[in-house]
Structure 1
Amino acid sequence: MRIFIVPALVAMMGLLSCNNFEYSPNQVFDKNSYRDINAGNLKRLGDGKGDDTVRFVLSGDTQRSRDETVRFTKKVNDMPGIDFVVIAGDITEFGVLQEMEWISRSLSKLNVPYVAVIGNHDLTSRGRDAFINMFGPLNYSFLYGGVKFVCHDTNSREHKFDGNTPDIPWLKAEMQPQAGVSNFVGISHVPPNSLDFDEKLVKGYTAAFAETPGFLASLHAHTHNYDLFYPDDSGIPYLTTSSMGNEEFILATIINHKISFERIQF
């Protein structure tokens, strides 16, 4: 008896044998996906007790910038004294798992730990679920060197301006006085001077920071351009970093309860 194998079936069998086979462009993980990057890197970072000078890199909008991300990683690795890196959202352009994996693979070459916050583009398609699988919760915080970094979702438009993004009650709870914390820094993607930020929440958002003793700065990305602004009379700086594609990032230094910024080209 002769056995005939349909060519299409052969092709399918070949695909199934490939470790990188993707069942759908909307999938949120595969067997090679990174998992819980933020938690793993924060464990590696530790709490920085005894570190009286906190130095970290702020970048964002890595979408469509794979080559630039490789160069960014090399630049940061050549800089001494960096404690960690923050990617302030828009890791992807279309919320696709493969994009997230490409960028994460490049960032995994950093010598120091890195964490990421969710951007508006990361919330498209199945990006939200992919981000949670790969990085973790959309709102989280961590402590390093006596500074609490409050990382949160400010992508109001993608949540249809539902009045809950950003989650101001959560922010206030995270910024309550606690032992071992002398200062606070907020980190999110969309800045409050953007049309993509829920205008009904701007006053409550900035007031939450202004009312927090020891709050140093609110850091963002999204616009692809550097901007330093003061939305109220609190004196708290709000800073937006340029994009990865523009080959620029921010070096932030916290010492003696004060924060300073330096623009770095690469």
Structure 2
Amino acid sequence: MRVFVAPIMIAVMGFSSCNSFEYSPNQTFDRNSYRDINAGNLKRLGDGRNDDTVRFILTGDTQRSRDETVRFTKKINEMPGIDFVVVAGDITEFGVLQEMEWISRSLAKLKPPYVAVIGNHDLTSRGRDAFTTMFGPLNYSFIYGGIKFVCHDTNSREHKFNGQTPDIPWLKAEMQPQEGVSNYVAISHVAPNSDDFDQALIKGYTDNFAAVPGFLASLHAHAHNYQLFYPDDSGIPYYITSSMGNEEFLLVEIINHKASFERIPF
């Protein structure tokens, strides 16, 4: 008995002591996990003060799409003049750390910096804790090329339609006139045409954007297929990018306070 039990016990102890071994769906970080990806990549990006042509990629719903994410990364790295990439939520399917790490390892090979927005699947299990550790706050903003990008949580269903998601007071504060900012772009996962968006907050949400001078577009994912819609008569476009699994993304270009959008397969 001693001959066989001791090696088994040692092996078990070795596995259980290794921080990189994914032993529980409740795990939110390990020693190999990335930390504060958004903040680190935004530091790399800088403020683009002298960049008069802003070009970025919008993608989303990378869950269950590791191979497609690898091909996406190669495609983006072949494209000239891309300033940054936005992954608009649902990095994971089950909110599990290992899923988030798999996708992040592929996206880390992008030449341009990237940032991520929280998706509804990322809020399942312990996904919220894993996301905030690896990427940062659920609501944040940054300025590049005189444009303020307001990234926020619109996953109302996962917050039990509590009337606070999206956080409209926070959005209003972020979109106040600001020196050096001429335009605004909102980015979130769930669009206001979805049943997963709190129906009681739709008007306040869209009215807020309509009232912001220089507001260019509201950008989303979640539906897995490309959509363009106008929820009111403000003329503001609401775009939904296709999913990573459908091998298509949006190229957004902003020049002279005007935005253009191109669907690109890969």
Please classify the TM superposition score into its range, dividing by the shorter chain length. Answer: over 0.9
| Equivalent residue number for residue 187 of structure 2 | 187
| Equivalent residue number for residue 248 of structure 2 | 248
Aligned-pair distance for 1:22? Answer: 3.0
For residues 264 and 42 of structure 2, the distance between their equivalents in structure 1, rounded to whole angstroms, comes to 24
For residues 53 and 263 of structure 1, the distance between their equivalents in structure 2, rounded to whole angstroms, comes to 18
CA contact (8 A) 2:22 2:98 kept: no
Aligned-pair distance for 1:20? Answer: 1.9
Letter in 1 for 2:70: V
For residues 84 and 10 of structure 2, the distance between their equivalents in structure 1, rounded to whole angstroms, comes to 47
| Equivalent residue number for residue 158 of structure 1 | 158
| Equivalent residue number for residue 128 of structure 1 | 128
| Equivalent residue number for residue 50 of structure 1 | 50
| Equivalent residue number for residue 175 of structure 1 | 175
1:18-167 matches, within 5 Å, as 18=18, 20-167=20-167
Percent of pairs identical after alignment? 82
Aligned-pair distance for 1:8? Answer: 3.7
Aligned-pair distance for 1:16? Answer: 4.1
Structure 1: stretches of 5+ with no match in the other structure = none
Give 3-state SS (helix, strand or coil) of 2:79's partner.
coil
Letter in 2 for 1:130: A
Letter in 1 for 2:140: Y
For residues 143 and 8 of structure 1, the distance between their equivalents in structure 2, rounded to whole angstroms, comes to 55
1:222 aligns with 2:240: no
Aligned-pair distance for 1:10? Answer: 2.3
1:204-223 matches, within 5 Å, as 204-223=204-223
| Equivalent residue number for residue 238 of structure 1 | 238
Aligned-pair distance for 1:265? Answer: 0.2
| Equivalent residue number for residue 196 of structure 1 | 196
Give 3-state SS (helix, strand or coil) of 2:101's partner.
helix
- What's the TM-score, normalizing by structure 2? 0.97
Letter in 1 for 2:114: Y
Which digits, 9 at most, give the CA deviation of each residue in 1:221-245, with x for residues without a partner?
0000000000000000000000000
